[in-house]
Amino acid sequence: MTGTMKLDAGIPSGPIEQAWDKARFDMKLVNPANKRRHTLLVVGSGLAGASASATLGELGYNVKCFCFQDSPRRAHSIAAQGGINAAKNYQNDGDSIYRLFYDTVKGGDFRSREANVYRLAQNSVHIIDQCVAQGVPFAREYGGSLENRSFGGAQVSRTFYARGQTGQQLLLGAYQALERQVDAGQVTMFPRSEMLDLIVIDGQARGIVARNLITGQLSVHMADAVILATGGYGNVYYLSTNAKGSNATAIWRAYKRGALFANPCFTQIHPTCIPVSGDYQSKLTLMSESLRNDGRIWVPKKKGDKRRPNEIPEDERDYYLERKYPAFGNLVPRDVASRNAKAVCDEGRGVGETGLGVYLDFSDAIRRLGEQTIRERYGNLFDMYQRITDEDPYKVPMRIYPAIHYTMGGLWVDYQLQSTIPGLFVLGEANFSDHGANRLGASALMQGLSDGYFIIPYTVGNYLASAKPAKVTGSHPEALAAFAATQQGIAKLLAIKGKRTVDSFHRELGKIVWDDCGMSRTAAGLKEAIGKIRALREEFWQNLNVPGSSDDLNQSLEKAARVADFIELGELMCIDALERNESCGGHFREEYQTPEGEAQRDDQHYSYVAAWGYTGSANPPELYKEPLEFAYVHPSQRSYK
Ligand SMILES: Cc1cc2nc3c(=O)[nH]c(=O)nc-3n(C[C@H](O)[C@H](O)[C@H](O)COP(=O)(O)OP(=O)(O)OC[C@H]3O[C@@H](n4cnc5c(N)ncnc54)[C@H](O)[C@@H]3O)c2cc1C
């Protein structure tokens, strides 16, 4: 079903270079004395949520910040390894704001909004200044200036990093800024609290229902605006590089309250993860893309070659990325690297016991630079690899295979980062973001911090000054109704008393979406997957077993609510993937490929953002389209050759 509402992104007119300045000047302001009269809810304390809460607190708003972990420091952002992009051009290697903008639009396979991406590139330089001022210990060169390395999809070195722990160090910076505001009484933290519903009153987002995960207590929080910064939904696939707790519940429940969900099928498969080793594994581990700076990817030329890697002579190895893409080599974007790894494994040239692996080999780099330099650059990643596989990557090549890692889709937002529900803003990985159909490495941290430090402080003020939300309390009928509905939802899960664990449902869902809505997709596979997911949903509501009660810590109950949402979202992902009859970025439909096996877009028919609206659990979702225009970076067949 196609909806008729016009999706207006509100992009400022005029030259793109001046769009954000113009927008900021045109925005209404809240005067300092009035800011303290406003309460804002920020759900999420990762890089996007912590930076937003800290900045909004500093501005004088009353902020309530929620996270399901015991501390904001444990948000999934802490796992980010490789780095953060910025167009500082410290290397004098040809970088500029325009080039970062260009690379990101091209990298996203021409499915992102140009004005947003340009603003992201502009903000990138401020992020580094802000983080350095906070004391984030970025790697430095001998002379003291900040060091850069390269990430996929770029021919310049613009990635700032702190060893293999960039996310952790950036999060500590944002966390300190947040804690300063907690101490100042501007931000109140609600750890171990999970948002389970959005309260919408007169069409505006006015609050949330949250559950205390320790006591089980439900509570209502009202505010003048709600900001979701709840991360990505990669865990739909069960096995992913995301933290086990990462989930889609906040954005999914907001979708059910009227926010549109954009491009759900745009998910990112990262090429360098430790391969799956068994049926009962519950987590996958990323080996950062930064390793592709020095590691060379190869497989044996011969099919089924079972020799150990060091027994395979140089001329019997296929460095397939260097061979096929000489201009970018091992640093092609993630979608291209992942698809090529799958292709060589499908040909029977994969390595390791399962044959689902390729080598990432550092022997050349160790010979050239010495083991110590490699240890300094990637020591913690090498240690992690050794602990998990019991193999020493200083001596034998790593084995890697693609795995689900990031979600470009998310709630639809306009240029102000506002969803289709006025007063509901969405930041970081939770929104459909600036990355089109494929995110380039080191650009998620950039986007989360750009949204939190540099965009939301302006746009939420503009909303408050324009919409002037009236006072409401938790006893409003809509708030009471949302509270009651949440209570009933929990009771329903506990009352099923079936035979299957929530993990078994989640694992089955993950296999369906990985097989049919993963690295490559077909119309027939997607149709079958939709049928299987519907059947799984039916069984879930009849045969799930959630032990325990809702009155205290109950992790099965937490998971059950999240998996119920994942099942519904998994179906929407397949519906979206089926509707998009083209290949672009991470969305590879086997029917649409060039003779060389590259993704073949259909700009004439699919150059739009697909935003889906909820119409009830028994009805098909409604599709709304935001047409995309490319006035600066003209769509072309992406080439990294
Ligand atoms: C292993 C790994 C390595 C990565 N490395 C890089 C890298 O080097 N460079 C890069 O740019 N990107 C990297 N990424 C991607 C990047 O880390 C994420 O996209 C980014 O950190 C997401 O930040 P966020 O603030 O949007 O969300 P998150 O950090 O996921 O934070 C989500 C927050 O929302 C809270 N939350 C969620 N749901 C609820 C709810 N219902 N109620 C209350 N609170 C809720 C959580 O408690 C948490 O505080 C990596 C990702 C992975 C998995």
If you average pLDDT over every residue of the chain, what do you get? 96
Which residue minimizes the CA distance to atom 33 of ligand 1?
44
- State how far the alpha carbon of 389 is from the alpha carbons of 44, 285, 392, 393, in Å: 33, 11, 8, 10
Q: Which ligand 1 atom sits closest to the C-alpha of 196?
A: 41
**Which pLDDT belongs to residue 1?**
60
Q: Which ligand 1 atom sits closest to the C-alpha of 242?
A: 53
Distance between CA atoms of residues 73 and 205, nearest Å: 27
* 3: pLDDT strictly greater than 80: no
What is the 182 CA–ligand 1 centroid distance (Å)?
21
Q: Which ligand 1 atom sits closest to the C-alpha of 290?
A: 8
Any idea which of 328-337, 391-400, 422-431, 444-453 has the lowest mean pLDDT?
Answer: 328-337
- Domain around 525: 477-605
Residue 547 β-bridge partners? none
315-338 b/e with 16+ CB inside 10 Å = b?
A: eebbbbbeebbeebbbbbbbbbbb
- Tell me if 500 is assigned to some domain: yes
Pocket test for ligand 1, best of 42, 55, 64, 67 (most atoms within 8 A of CB): 67
Residue 270 β-bridge partners? 403
Pocket test for ligand 1, best of 429, 443, 562 (most atoms within 8 A of CB): 429
Q: Where are the alpha helices (DSSP H) in 348-455?
A: 363-369, 371-389, 444-449
Q: Which ligand 1 atom sits closest to the C-alpha of 430?
A: 26
If asked whether residues 410 and 545 sit together in one domain, one would say: no
What is the 78 CA–ligand 1 centroid distance (Å)?
8
- Tell me if 303 is assigned to some domain: yes
What is the 429 CA–ligand 1 centroid distance (Å)?
7
Q: Which ligand 1 atom sits closest to the C-alpha of 250?
A: 41
For the stretch 261-285, pLDDT in tens is 999 999 999 999 999 988 888 889 9
Q: Of 409, 415, 406, 379, give the one whose Cα is nearest residue 579.
A: 409
Q: Report the 10 Å Cβ neighbour count for 244.
A: 11
If asked whether residues 456 and 508 sit together in one domain, one would say: no
What is the 246 CA–ligand 1 centroid distance (Å)?
8
SS3 for 267? strand
Distance between CA atoms of residues 460 and 63, nearest Å: 12
If asked whether residues 398 and 461 sit together in one domain, one would say: no
Phi, psi of 239 (to 5 degrees): -85, 120
- The identity of residue 37, as a single letter, is R
User: Residue 371 is encoded by which pair of tokens?
Assistant: 């083991």
Distance between CA atoms of residues 298 and 317, nearest Å: 6
Number of residues written out for the chain: 641
Pocket test for ligand 1, best of 63, 73, 77 (most atoms within 8 A of CB): 77
What CATH number should be reported for the domain holding residue 281? 3.90.700.10
- Total tally of structural domains belonging to the chain: 3
Query: Using an 8 Å Cβ cutoff, are 55 and 452 in contact?
Result: yes
Q: Which ligand 1 atom sits closest to the C-alpha of 429?
A: 26
Distance between CA atoms of residues 47 and 496, nearest Å: 37
- State how far the alpha carbon of 320 is from the alpha carbons of 120, 128, 317, 466, in Å: 33, 35, 9, 56
Domain boundary among 403, 430, 451: 403
If asked whether residues 486 and 382 sit together in one domain, one would say: no
For the stretch 163-197, pLDDT in tens is 889 999 999 999 999 999 999 999 999 999 999 99
If asked whether residues 228 and 256 sit together in one domain, one would say: yes
Query: Using an 8 Å Cβ cutoff, are 236 and 511 in contact?
Result: no
Distance between CA atoms of residues 456 and 512, nearest Å: 37
For the stretch 550-573, pLDDT in tens is 999 999 999 999 999 999 999 999
Q: What is the mean pLDDT of residues 507-532?
A: 97
What is the 528 CA–ligand 1 centroid distance (Å)?
31
Domain boundary among 375, 403, 431: 403
For 431-491, give the DSSP string: B--S-TTSPPTT-HHHHHHIIIIIIHHHHHHHHHHHH-PPP--TTSHHHHHHHHHHHHHHH
- % of the chain at pLDDT higher than 70: 99
- Tell me if 628 is assigned to some domain: no
Confidence band, pLDDT 50/70/90 cuts, at residue 5: confident
If asked whether residues 118 and 251 sit together in one domain, one would say: yes
- Tell me if 319 is assigned to some domain: yes
- Tell me if 3 is assigned to some domain: no
Distance between CA atoms of residues 388 and 372, nearest Å: 22
Q: Which ligand 1 atom sits closest to the C-alpha of 234?
A: 53
Which residue minimizes the CA distance to atom 10 of ligand 1?
442
Which residue minimizes the CA distance to atom 11 of ligand 1?
442
What is the 291 CA–ligand 1 centroid distance (Å)?
21
Any idea which residues carry the catalytic annotation? 334
What is the 75 CA–ligand 1 centroid distance (Å)?
6
If asked whether residues 215 and 176 sit together in one domain, one would say: yes
Query: Using an 8 Å Cβ cutoff, are 411 and 430 in contact?
Result: yes
Which residue minimizes the CA distance to atom 6 of ligand 1?
80
If asked whether residues 172 and 208 sit together in one domain, one would say: yes
Which residue minimizes the CA distance to atom 47 of ligand 1?
67
Which residue minimizes the CA distance to atom 21 of ligand 1?
77
- % of the chain at pLDDT higher than 90: 91
* 415: pLDDT strictly greater than 70: yes
- The identity of residue 302, as a single letter, is K
Pocket test for ligand 1, best of 70, 73, 76, 235 (most atoms within 8 A of CB): 76
What is the 46 CA–ligand 1 centroid distance (Å)?
6
Q: Which ligand 1 atom sits closest to the C-alpha of 194?
A: 42
Query: Using an 8 Å Cβ cutoff, are 406 and 444 in contact?
Result: yes
If asked whether residues 357 and 426 sit together in one domain, one would say: no
Residue 318 β-bridge partners? 299
Any idea which of 60-69, 289-298, 411-420 has the lowest mean pLDDT?
Answer: 289-298
For the stretch 582-609, pLDDT in tens is 999 999 999 999 988 889 999 999 999 9
Query: Using an 8 Å Cβ cutoff, are 285 and 270 in contact?
Result: no
Q: Report the 10 Å Cβ neighbour count for 16.
A: 18
User: Whole-prediction pTM value?
Assistant: 0.96
* 27: pLDDT strictly greater than 90: yes
For 554-620, give the DSSP string: -HHHHHHHHHHHHHHHHHHHHHHHHH--S-BTTB-BTTSB-TTS-B---HHHH-EEEEEE---TTSP
What CATH number should be reported for the domain holding residue 535? 1.20.58.100
Pocket test for ligand 1, best of 47, 136, 230 (most atoms within 8 A of CB): 230
- Tell me if 150 is assigned to some domain: no
What is the 475 CA–ligand 1 centroid distance (Å)?
33
For the stretch 51-81, pLDDT in tens is 999 999 999 999 999 999 999 999 999 999 8
If asked whether residues 46 and 178 sit together in one domain, one would say: yes
- Tell me if 242 is assigned to some domain: yes
Handedness of CA 408, 124, 379, 339 (dihedral sign): positive
* 4: pLDDT strictly greater than 80: no
Which residue minimizes the CA distance to atom 38 of ligand 1?
230
Distance between CA atoms of residues 407 and 435, nearest Å: 10
* Neighbouring C-alpha atoms within 13 Å toward the C-beta of 448: 34
If asked whether residues 51 and 167 sit together in one domain, one would say: yes
Handedness of CA 427, 430, 435, 439 (dihedral sign): positive
What is the 44 CA–ligand 1 centroid distance (Å)?
9
If asked whether residues 260 and 282 sit together in one domain, one would say: no
Query: Using an 8 Å Cβ cutoff, are 441 and 289 in contact?
Result: yes
What is the 231 CA–ligand 1 centroid distance (Å)?
5
Q: What angle do CA 439, 443, 444 make, to 5 degrees?
A: 85
Q: Please return the burial class of 51, using the count of CB atoms within 10 Å of its CB with bins 0-12, 13-18 and 19+.
A: buried
What CATH number should be reported for the domain holding residue 428? 3.50.50.60
Q: Of 422, 563, 549, give the one whose Cα is nearest residue 490.
A: 549
Instruction: Show the ligand 1 pocket: residues with CB < 6 angstroms.
Output: 43-49, 66-69, 75-77, 79-84, 166-167, 193-195, 229-232, 241-242, 246-247, 249-250, 286, 288, 405-406, 428-430, 442-445, 448
- Tell me if 10 is assigned to some domain: no
Domain boundary among 380, 403, 426: 403
For the stretch 113-139, pLDDT in tens is 999 999 999 999 999 999 999 999 999
